[in-house]
Structure 1
Amino acid sequence: MELTQSQIDQYNDAGYLVLPDVFSAEEVEVLRHEAAEITREHRPEIWREKSGAPRTAFGCHKYSEVFRTLSSDERLVAPVEQLIGETLYIHQFKVNPKVAFDGDNFPWHQDFVTWHEDDGMPEARAMNIAIFLDDVFTTNGALMFVPGSHKRGMIPTTPKENNRRWMDLADVEAMITTGSDIEVATGRAGSVLMFHGNSVHGSAGNMTPLPRRIVYVTYSAVSNAIQRPTRPEFIAHQTFEPVHATPPAAFAEYAESLRT
């Protein structure tokens, strides 16, 4: 899958891009089922809300054949390679369920500041690409972005709750002064969201009965491999094998075999 020049321009201007209807309903059904199975497990890679509801399942491509197969899908790898201009490795893989009625908020933050300060990633030559497993509305915990914020570069911040590098509120207040300074990334299940490591983003909690499950893959340029990791390997991967893109039909056929 190749981005058009218009899509590249949109991404470069806003720091994020939504690509509608990339994965079929049948593929999404398989991914939903696998995400549900994984988040029932109790293992160190799965972090939970205070209520016990799943918050993040890290590194599941390491122990799930479904997500391992997905992680090399050309529909994810090729657009990132196109923007970064180099062979990639997987820095992080995770599922964020944001369950109905119970999914908590993620405060405003940039991802690269954590990748740089806590993992030793040299440059912001890495980015996230995500698959919506549910319809994402403005009301069920969609990601919110400050468009163009990636152009400001990394904004230093100190670790806060649970050692997370949420942005300082003064920096957020300086950046968001009106509602038009925020855009919300919505789309149907099967849509794909890409965003820059320095894009300022966050999400509200989910108080609706509509789940908002999203799979995220963070790809980094192989030459940009992390140098001084402080986080567990299942969060910041410490093997840097290049990802070789597989045709979309490979995952589609695999998903179909699981449904029959």
Structure 2
Amino acid sequence: MTLSQEQLRQFQDEGWLFLPETFSPEEVAVLREESDAIYREQRPEVWREKSGAPRTAFAAHLYNEAFRLLGAHPRMIKPIEQIFGEKLYMHQYKINAKAAFTGEVWQWHQDYGTWLRDDGMPEPRAMNIAVFLDEVMPVNGPLMLIPRSQNQGNLDASHDTSTTSYPLWTINEEVVTKLVQEGGIVAPTGKAGGLLMFHGNLVHGSAPNITPYPRRIVYLTLNAVSNHIRKPTRPEWIAHTDFTPIEPVADDALLRYARSRQHKAAAE
């Protein structure tokens, strides 16, 4: 899969691009099932809300075959190689949940601010990819983006370690207000299987989910190999130091895995 000139233009101008229903219901179903199993595990990679509900599961591609295949899927790898013009490695991989009724806020922030301060990433040449595992609606805590805010570079931020269970380098309200006045806010929504890509300097966040509709999103950070991190301070399962270039799997690899799971279940 490659991006059209119009899609490339939108990404360069707006800092984000949404590709609806990139993955099939069958592919999404196996990822959703296996994410449920991961969230039930008690392991350091699985972080929880203060309520006990799952918030994020890091590095699933290292201990789950379906998520390994997703992390090397050509529908994600090829477009980002097209943009960066070089091979990629996995800087970070997480499955974020926003539980029904109790899913907490993600404060306004830029991801590159964290990658720079905590990991020593030289430049914002890493791409965020979000794959919807549930339908993302206007009401269940969709990701909110401030278009064109990536053009502001790396903004000043404060390290918030108390608002939620996940520490973030957050942007203050005055700066966010100014950015919104200039660029507005968009909240891409769509069915499960949709793919959202956005620039590492794009300011984004999400509101709490107080609806009965949970939503899970897989976030991958694909970094240009030449831009590998220099001064990691976080655990390996949060900021990876294996800079081996990703070799894409076959386009039907995830589908074949899903069907093999179905056949195995039917035989048992």
What's the TM-score, normalizing by structure 2? 0.94
Would the aligned equivalents of 1:154 and 1:198 in 2 still touch at CA under 8 Å? yes
Alignment of 1:209-228 (within 5 A): 209-228=212-231
Range that drifts further, 191-200 or 160-169: 160-169
**CA displacement 1:107-164 (0-9 Å, x = unmatched):** 1100000001110000000011111011111110111111011111111213122542
Structure 2: which 5+ residue stretches go unaligned? 264-268
Runs of 4+, deviation exceeding 6 Å: none
How far the C-alpha of 1:185 sits from its partner, in A, is: 1.1
Hey, what does 1:245 align to over in structure 2?
248
How far the C-alpha of 1:245 sits from its partner, in A, is: 1.1
Amino acid at match of 1:12: Q
Would the aligned equivalents of 2:109 and 2:168 in 1 still touch at CA under 8 Å? no
Hey, what does 1:104 align to over in structure 2?
104
Q: Distance in 2 between matches of 1:101 and 1:62?
A: 30
Hey, what does 1:168 align to over in structure 2?
172
**CA displacement 1:162-187 (0-9 Å, x = unmatched):** 54201122211222238x71111111
What's the TM-score, normalizing by structure 1? 0.97
Amino acid at match of 1:257: S
**CA displacement 1:85-115 (0-9 Å, x = unmatched):** 1100000000001111111110110000000
Would the aligned equivalents of 2:107 and 2:168 in 1 still touch at CA under 8 Å? no
How far the C-alpha of 1:246 sits from its partner, in A, is: 1.6
Hey, what does 1:75 align to over in structure 2?
75
Q: Distance in 2 between matches of 1:156 and 1:241?
A: 32
1:205 maps to 2:208 = yes
Structure 1: which 5+ residue stretches go unaligned? none
Range that drifts further, 169-178 or 83-92: 169-178
Hey, what does 2:258 align to over in structure 1?
255
Hey, what does 2:187 align to over in structure 1?
184
**CA displacement 1:6-35 (0-9 Å, x = unmatched):** 111111111111101110001100000010
Hey, what does 2:266 align to over in structure 1?
none
Range that drifts further, 195-204 or 157-166: 157-166
Hey, what does 2:50 align to over in structure 1?
50
